[in-house]
């Protein structure tokens, strides 16, 4: 129905997919821009619904639009000489460490999460991208492969390397 | 019974990748290996919760998106396309019909011009061939022209050499 221009049906689609789209955008463009770019992605999806051929999953198609919109936004920002904030390294971080542990462990956990962010930012670009799509956008391996147009074997290899490297670097702060 | 998992196997388990059956069985029963895998999983879960706290108000976002939807891209555009195609087809048929009509009538709307006779054409050709001058290179002084053709250079005219 949304493909026939039914705005109510599209509104329902937005409600179903906006969290995923925002989380994907958050990984690429950072907290400040994520909402705007997520909105751009969903508007773009609406105008391109005619080109969705149902051979791929709608979520994958939409995620691909979101990723492309993020990359366009990053390119535009670079071209215009704007400062591109490294996604994941910006802004204040909400304190959401486990409540059911004592203050000392809480502090250690806080440090460990901060260290995770730092180590994540140092991962090679592809590894970081795949790691974030897998764990934060909660995409499965096939979805990531389809969204990035790479073989699923590549996704597995890069993800394994990313996790292994993070475990090695976080070894002393866990 | 398999001994503790290698670091690589634990990383594979954290990544959600396949590990072989003995390794999987060991992981299920070994507290040490499970704890090692859970360390990073816990940090990732916390980080994911942090990221979610940054999320916008979803209802507001939905409203803003719906306000931005271009009217032409959805239903209206499809309606537009629905009548556009027959109109274009009709226009094409009309153009074809007019074109065929012009061709049948000899390529012009007025009466056909009388064709010139062969003699007239030959006479016109003769006239054109007899005029071998090149526009812009007309002879100014016939004496200079003749002399140049005969001797390859220009001598002063008799009147000039006297002086």
| Residue of chain B whose Cα is closest to the Cα of A89 | B51
- pLDDT of B137 strictly over 80: no
pTM above 0.80, yes or no: no
Query: What pLDDT, on a 0 to 100 scale, did the predictor assign at position B77?
Result: 47
Choice between A37 and B86, residue whose per-residue pLDDT is larger: A37
Nearest to A86 by CA among A33, A9, A10, A126: A33
Query: What pLDDT, on a 0 to 100 scale, did the predictor assign at position B112?
Result: 61
Q: Which residue of B7, B42, B60, B65 to mutate against A (max A Cβ within 10 Å)? A: B65
Query: What pLDDT, on a 0 to 100 scale, did the predictor assign at position B128?
Result: 73
pLDDT bracket for residue A84 (50, 70, 90): low
Query: What pLDDT, on a 0 to 100 scale, did the predictor assign at position B162?
Result: 44
Kindly state the helix (H) or strand (E) to which residue A169 belongs, with its residue range: helix A152-169
Give residues with Cβ within 8 angstroms of B29, minimum separation 6.
none
The domain locations on chain A are: 2-79, 103-169
- How far apart are alpha carbons A147 and A169 in whole angstroms? 29
Q: Which residue of B12, B33, B36, B43 to mutate against A (max A Cβ within 10 Å)? A: B43
- How far apart are alpha carbons A85 and B134 in whole angstroms? 74
Query: What pLDDT, on a 0 to 100 scale, did the predictor assign at position B64?
Result: 94
In CATH terms, is domain A2-79 a member of 3.40.50.720? no
In CATH terms, is domain A103-169 a member of 1.10.1060.10? no
Choice between B45 and A102, residue whose per-residue pLDDT is larger: B45
Size (chain B), residues:
163
CB A146 within 8 A of CB B1: no
Nearest CB among A6, A38, A96 relative to B75 is that of A6
């Amino acid at each position: 129905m949304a493909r026939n221009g039914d705005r109510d049906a599209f509104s329902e689609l937005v409600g179903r997919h906006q969290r995923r789209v925002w989380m994907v955008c958050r990984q690429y463009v950072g907290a400040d821009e994520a909402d705007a770019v997520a909105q751009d992605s969903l508007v773009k999806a609406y105008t391109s619904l005619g080109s969705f051929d149902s051979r791929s999953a709608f979520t994958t198609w939409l995620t691909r639009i979101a990723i492309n919109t993020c990359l366009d936004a990053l390119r535009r920002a670079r071209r215009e000489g704007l400062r591109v904030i490294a996604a994941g390294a910006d802004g204040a971080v909400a304190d959401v460490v486990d409540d059911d542990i004592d203050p000392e462990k809480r502090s250690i956990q806080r440090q460990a999460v901060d260290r995770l962010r730092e180590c994540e930012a140092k991962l090679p670009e592809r590894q970081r991208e795949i790691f974030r799509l897998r764990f934060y956008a909660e995409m499965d391996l096939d979805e990531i492969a389809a969204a990035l147009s790479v073989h699923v074997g590549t996704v597995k290899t890069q993800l394994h390397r990313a996790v292994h490297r993070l475990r090695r670097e976080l070894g002393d702060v866990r | 019974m398999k001994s503790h998992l290698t670091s690589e196997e634990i990383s594979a388990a954290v990544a959600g990748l396949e590990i072989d059956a003995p390794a999987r069985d060991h992981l299920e029963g070994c507290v040490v290996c499970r704890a090692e895998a859970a360390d990073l999983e816990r940090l990732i879960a916390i980080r994911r919760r942090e990221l979610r706290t940054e999320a916008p108000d979803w209802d507001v976002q939905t409203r803003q998106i719906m306000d931005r939807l271009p009217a032409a891209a959805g239903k209206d555009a499809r309606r537009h396309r629905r009548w556009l195609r027959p109109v274009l087809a009709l226009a094409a048929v009309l153009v074809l019909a007019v074109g065929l009509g012009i061709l049948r009538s000899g390529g012009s709307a007025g009466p056909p011009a009388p064709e010139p006779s062969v003699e007239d054409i030959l006479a016109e050709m003769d006239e054109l061939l007899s005029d071998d001058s090149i526009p812009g290179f007309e002879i100014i002084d016939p004496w200079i022209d003749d002399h140049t053709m005969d001797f390859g250079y220009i001598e002063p005219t008799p009147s000039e050499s006297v002086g």
